């Protein structure tokens, strides 16, 4: 019991210790809190410093990347500017070249117009001189006729006074005496008069033809079998030939024309007897050189486009010829056939220009004879229309032309003029004789025709026509002046073995049907081409 009661001097000490420990703990807590707060502030300050350093580093990297990007953009801009400048200079050079070409073309046309104007002035002076001579002759004839009438009247008066007879009595006695004396010479007199009449008719007809020819004196240009194409550089010749000659082979196959590339600088020659194919080849090659892209597929594309252009040109030439001679109302088919004559020659004479010339001469002769000039011009323009299709149909060009005109409802005079202008049938219409006369005038004037070229062209056409008779032959082209024939055969219907047989048969047909010096090489081409379009 005594041990459980606290001691009086122990209680204050215990209370002090409790307070001390409490205060000490509170001070420790406060010191820890202060330390913790200082640590947090130091940590936050260190974090801000790291963030600032990282931000500076990122800023530096961004600045370096911006500088690099800026440099790259400047380089690309300079390269693009250089490319634009180069392209602009090329376009300017091409524009200058085209301008120079146009100026040269205009100069040539101006020179042609000046020459034509000089020819017209010369013809006009000749016509005026002829008219003056004719007027002087007519005036002289009138004066002589008046003088003869006066002398005849005086002679009658003197005879009546001397004979003592009237005019009727003297005439009766004179005629009786003449009949008695000249009975045995009557036949001789008739022959002499007939001869004089024939000479007068020939002289008048000659004067009429000369007048018509003088009024229409057209220029004449002989076509050749070659055309030239200008090339800018000799390197272009190599591109035309192509790797291992594939481009030139594709071009010759597509056009049927022989391409000659020699050492002549700046020129490539296309050679062929068919003027239509030669013109297609010339224009196609010029377009390919201008375009610069020369390969087999492009060659085929350009040749097809050029064929369409030539077809349009044919129609244009036909319409121009009809308008030139004032022959309206022709059907579209006849206009097309007329245009084809622009690319046909007869003894080197352009058939379309020959037809226009015959039309003018026929009209002038008909008007001098009191006939219809418009109908004569129509007959003259269409008299050789059969030559546009004589290589496609059987028979001579007069018969082909007459059948063609009859199918297109032309008049009997026009049909008969085409059928009989070579004196092969009995003449039924006077216009046929007029056309035949004009045709002879146009063909026989100096320099109009050269027979050797006509024989050459007929031989080329005969070579191609014989080859086209065989089955499977799609196209046939005579090249190298007739020493070689290239035949394109249909690969879908003919095998290689059949192509070899066709080649042999064509060569044997030449041996049987043709007379020619030397040899003719026959080459048969059989190819298969596939084309797809990616869309």
> Is the pLDDT confidence value at 4 over 60?
no
Q: Does domain 218-325 have CATH number 2.60.40.10?
A: no
Is the pLDDT reported for residue 216 higher than 60?
A: no
Q: How far is residue 63 from each of residues 56, 68, 70, 74, measured CA to CA in Å?
A: 10, 9, 10, 16
Average pLDDT for 97-116 = 89
Least confident of 4-18, 489-503, 508-522: 4-18
Give CA–CA dist 477/518, Å, rounded.
Answer: 19
SS3 for 153-209, per residue? HHHHHHHHHHHCCCHHHHHHHHHHHHHHHCCCCHHHHHHHHHHHHHHHHHHHHHHHH
Residue-wise pLDDT for 360-378, tens only, equals 888 888 888 888 888 888 8
Q: Are strands 349-350 and 473-479 parallel, antiparallel or unpaired?
A: unpaired
How do residues 243-297 score in pLDDT, each as one tens digit? 888 888 888 888 888 888 877 778 888 887 777 788 888 888 888 888 888 888 8
More confident residue, 41 or 163: 41
* Nearest Cα residue to 421 out of 411, 406, 432, 405: 432
pLDDT of res. 22: 77
* Nearest alpha carbon to residue 19 among 31, 9, 27: 27
Average pLDDT over residues 83-91: 88
CB of 355 within 8 A of CB of 338? yes
Q: For 340-447, CATH number?
A: 1.10.3210.10
* Joined tokens for residue 422: 């070579």
Q: Which two tokens stand for residue 500?
A: 């070899």
| DSSP-assigned beta bridge partners for residue 198 | none
pLDDT at 219: 42
- Residue 398 neighbours by CB distance under 10 Å: 22
**CA 229 – CA 261 distance, rounded (Å):** 11
pLDDT of 426 > 80? The answer is: no
**What is the CATH topology of the domain spanning 452-527?**
Alpha-Beta Plaits (3.30.70)
pLDDT at residue 451 in the model: 43
pLDDT tops 80 at residue 533: no
Q: 42-51, 70-79, 182-191, 501-510: lowest mean pLDDT where?
A: 182-191
**At 3, is the pLDDT very low, low, confident or very high (cuts 50, 70, 90)?**
very low
Sheet of 258-260: strand order equals 226-230, 267-271, 258-260
Q: Which of 477, 484, 530, 481 minimizes the C-alpha distance to 507? A: 484
pLDDT tens digits along 157-212: 777 677 666 667 767 777 777 666 665 565 566 666 667 776 766 666 656 655 55
Q: What is the pLDDT of residue 218?
A: 46
Give the model's confidence band at 220: pLDDT under 50 very low, under 70 low, under 90 confident, else very high. very low
DSSP E strands in 373-502: the ranges are: 473-479, 484-489
The band of 1, judged by pLDDT with boundaries at 50, 70 and 90, is very low
pTM of the full structure: 0.45
Could you give the CA distance from residue 414 to residue 382 in angstroms, rounded to a whole number? Answer: 7
Would you call 378 exposed, middle or buried from its count of C-beta atoms within 10 A (0-12, 13-18, 19+)?
A: buried
CA distance 271 to 224: 9
The pLDDT of residue 450: 46
**Residues 6 or more apart in contact with residue 281 via CB below 8 angstroms:** 227, 251, 255, 256, 257, 259, 270, 272
């Amino acid at each position: 019991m005594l041990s459980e009661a606290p001691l009086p001097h122990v209680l204050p000490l215990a209370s002090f210790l409790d307070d001390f420990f409490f205060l000490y703990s509170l001070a420790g807590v406060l010191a820890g809190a202060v330390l913790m707060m200082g640590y947090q502030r130091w940590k936050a300050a260190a974090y801000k410093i790291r963030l600032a350093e990282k931000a500076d580093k990122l800023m530096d990297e961004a600045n370096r990347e911006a500088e690099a990007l800026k440099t790259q953009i400047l380089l690309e801009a300079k390269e693009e500017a250089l490319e634009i400048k180069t392209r602009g200079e090329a376009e300017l050079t091409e524009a200058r070249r085209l301008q120079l070409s146009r100026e040269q073309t205009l100069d040539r046309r101006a020179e042609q117009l000046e020459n034509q104007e000089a020819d017209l002035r010369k013809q006009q002076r000749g016509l005026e001189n002829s008219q003056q001579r004719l007027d002087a002759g007519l005036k002289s004839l009138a004066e002589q006729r008046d003088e003869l009438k006066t002398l005849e009247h005086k002679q009658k008066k003197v005879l009546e006074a001397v004979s003592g007879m009237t005019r009727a009595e003297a005439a009766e006695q004179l005629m009786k005496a003449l009949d008695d004396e000249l009975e045995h010479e009557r036949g001789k007199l008739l022959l002499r008069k007939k001869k004089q009449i024939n000479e007068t008719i020939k002289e008048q007809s000659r004067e009429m033809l000369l007048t018509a020819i003088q009024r229409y004196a057209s220029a004449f240009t002989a076509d050749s079998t070659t055309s030239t194409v200008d090339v800018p550089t000799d390197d272009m010749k190599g591109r035309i030939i192509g790797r291992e000659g594939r481009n030139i082979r594709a071009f010759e196959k597509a056009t049927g024309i022989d391409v000659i590339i020699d050492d002549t600088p700046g020129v490539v020659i296309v050679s062929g007897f068919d003027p239509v194919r030669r013109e297609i080849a010339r224009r196609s090659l010029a377009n390919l050189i201008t375009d610069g892209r020369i390969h087999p597929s492009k060659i085929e594309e350009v040749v097809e486009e050029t064929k369409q252009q030539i077809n349009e040109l044919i129609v244009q030439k036909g319409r121009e010829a009809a308008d030139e001679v004032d022959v309206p109302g022709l059907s579209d088919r006849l206009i097309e056939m007329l245009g084809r004559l622009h690319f046909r020659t007869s003894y080197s004479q352009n058939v379309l220009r020959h037809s226009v010339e015959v039309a003018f001469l026929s009209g002038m002769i008909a008007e001098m004879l009191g006939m219809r000039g418009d109908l004569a011009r129509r007959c003259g323009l269409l008299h050789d229309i059969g030559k546009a299709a004589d290589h496609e149909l059987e028979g001579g060009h007069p018969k082909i032309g007459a059948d063609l005109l009859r199918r297109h409802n032309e008049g009997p005079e026009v049909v008969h003029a085409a059928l009989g202008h070579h004196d092969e049938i009995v003449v039924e219409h006077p216009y046929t004789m007029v056309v035949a006369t004009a045709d002879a005038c146009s063909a026989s004037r100096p320099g109009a025709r050269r027979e050797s070229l006509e024989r050459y062209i007929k031989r080329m056409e005969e070579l191609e026509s014989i080859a086209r008779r065989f089955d499977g032959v799609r196209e046939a082209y005579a090249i190298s002046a007739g020493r070689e024939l290239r035949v394109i055969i249909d690969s879908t219907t003919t095998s290689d073995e059949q192509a070899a047989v066709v080649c042999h048969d064509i060569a044997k047909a030449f041996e049987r049907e043709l007379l020619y010096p030397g040899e003719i090489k026959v080459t048969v081409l059989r190819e298969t081409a596939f084309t797809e379009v990616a869309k």
